[in-house]
């Protein structure tokens, strides 16, 4: 019983540490002050997701819908007119969504992925520029080890198709897992919250690990071994979904996501996790196979392509 309590305490401290690191937005100020490109990319994300997307939603709900309700009122002398006004008002609002919001949402997603990648790239360059000590021989050997691990791939399938392709497929399948989990009765919301927290956290750290030369095998193993920390890191980006509609919460997440990428770039996750373990009498958490189904399905999908099998 005592060991179980120590493990629970360990997981809670890791979750709390991850949550705290995700909310360390002061790091974004440091990065943006150190790089004009980072400042521009972050500002573009704020402009697109904050001013344009969320601003459009605000205009729709605060001005467009009230004006339509005034022009096409619910109260009328004739019942047929009321029904006609209601259908016409609903039709016009749907037209607004189809012609503006949904294309804008897709556009912001596609453009956001490109900008987030740039933010991760340039933040990594800022970190390299601000390194005061020269690389030690042990660092070089560690880098060579990472490169050797990278060549091994995941179950031999990443060889020939590239880790980025495999990682993209894995995360796409994981996204569908998050979507499906939301439909489970009773536990669906909780499952979706944790899965989405992990997915957002992985996205934030993936580019950093990629530029650092960490192999995909090592990334997944480290992530699953320290699932509580990354659940905490991803939680702030999921919390808006508990209070707002999907469109508004996605806009808020898109608005804040550059900050999470920057905080991830400045997070010393290994040092933090090791320090929490020492504080908790050296307790080591248990590995949770978060990406088990995603890896299995990805493997099955890749086996459908004979050329991939030949290369491996």
pLDDT digits (tens, 9 = 90+) for 13-49: 889 999 999 999 888 888 888 888 888 888 888 888 8
Residue 186 structure tokens: 């009773």
Structural Rg of the chain based on CA atoms:
23
Q: From the centroid of its chain, how far is CA 49?
A: 15
* CA dist., res. 100 & res. 260, Å (int): 27
Give the pLDDT of residue 136: 53
Assign residue 97 a region: left if phi > 0, alpha if psi is -120 to 50, beta otherwise?
Answer: alpha
What distance in Å separates the CA atoms of residue 174 and residue 195, rounded to the nearest whole number? 8
Alpha-carbon distance of 19 to 35, in angstroms, equals 26
Picking from 56, 40, 54, 35, the residue whose alpha carbon sits closest to that of residue 255 is: 54
- For range 155-174, the mean pLDDT: 68
Torsion, Cα of 158, 164, 169, 171 (10° steps): 120
**For residues 207-233, average pLDDT:** 88
Q: What is the pTM of this model?
A: 0.78
d(CA 278, CA 234) in angstroms, rounded, equals 24
Compare 229 and 132 and report the one with higher pLDDT. 229
Cα 243 → chain centroid: 18
Nearest to 181 by CA among 191, 171, 167: 191
Helical ranges in 24-162 per DSSP H: 26-34, 36-45, 55-59, 65-71, 79-96, 102-129, 137-152
Q: Specify whether the CB–CB gap between 173 and 292 falls below 8 A.
A: no
On the question of pLDDT at 196 being above 60, the answer is yes
- Higher-pLDDT residue of 131 and 175 is 175
222: CB partners within 8 A, 6+ apart = 214, 270
Looking at residue 283, its pLDDT comes to 62
How far apart are alpha carbons 2 and 7 in whole angstroms? Answer: 9
Confidence (pLDDT) at 156: 44
User: Sign of the C-alpha dihedral, residues 14, 18, 19, 21?
Assistant: positive
The answer to whether 173 and 294 are in contact (CB under 8 A) is yes
Return d(Cα 10, Cα 305) in angstroms, integer: 43
pLDDT score, position 89: 81
Q: Cα–Cα distances in Å, from 268 out to 3, 4, 293?
A: 27, 27, 29
With tokens 């894995």, the residue in question is 170
Angle between helices 36-45 and 26-34 (to 10 degrees): 130
The whole-chain average pLDDT of the chain stands at 79
CB 169 within 8 A of CB 298: yes
Tell me if residue 226 falls in helix, strand or coil: coil
pLDDT band at 158 (very low <50, low <70, confident <90, very high): very low
81-140 confidence digits (pLDDT tens): 667 777 788 888 888 888 887 888 788 878 877 888 888 888 888 888 776 544 555 555
- Give the pLDDT score at 260: 92
DSSP state of 136: P
Residue found under tokens 């596609």: 110
């Amino acid at each position: 019983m005592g060991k179980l309590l120590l493990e629970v305490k360990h997981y809670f401290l890791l979750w709390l540490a991850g949550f705290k690191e995700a909310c360390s937005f002061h790091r974004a100020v440091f990065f943006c002050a150190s790089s004009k490109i980072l400042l521009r990319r972050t500002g573009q994300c704020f402009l697109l997701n904050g001013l344009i997307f969320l601003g459009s939603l605000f205009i729709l709900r605060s001005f467009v819908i009230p004006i339509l309700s005034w022009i096409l009122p619910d109260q009328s002398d004739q019942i047929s007119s009321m029904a006609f006004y209601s259908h016409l008002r609903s039709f016009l609002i749907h037209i607004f969504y189809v012609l503006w919001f949904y294309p804008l949402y897709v556009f912001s997603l596609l453009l956001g992925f490109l900008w987030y990648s740039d933010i991760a790239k340039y933040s990594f360059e800022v970190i390299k520029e601000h390194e005061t000590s020269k690389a030690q021989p042990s660092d070089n050997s560690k880098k060579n080890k990472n490169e050797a691990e990278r060549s091994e791939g995941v179950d031999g399938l990443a060889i020939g198709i590239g880790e980025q392709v495999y990682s993209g497929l894995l995360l796409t399948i994981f996204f569908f897992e998050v979507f499906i989990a939301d439909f489970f009765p009773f536990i669906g919301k909780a499952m979706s919250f944790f899965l989405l927290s992990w997915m957002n956290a992985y996205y934030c750290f993936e580019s950093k690990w990629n530029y650092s030369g960490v192999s995909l095998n090592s990334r997944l193993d480290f992530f699953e071994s320290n699932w509580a920390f990354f659940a905490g890191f991803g939680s702030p980006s999921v919390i808006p979904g508990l209070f707002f509609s999907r469109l508004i919460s996605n806009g808020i997440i898109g608005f804040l996501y550059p900050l999470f990428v920057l905080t991830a770039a400045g997070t010393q996750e290994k040092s933090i996790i090791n320090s929490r373990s020492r504080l908790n009498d050296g307790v080591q958490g248990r590995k949770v196979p978060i990406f088990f189904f995603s890896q299995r399905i990805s493997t099955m999908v890749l086996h459908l392509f004979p050329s991939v099998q030949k290369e491996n």
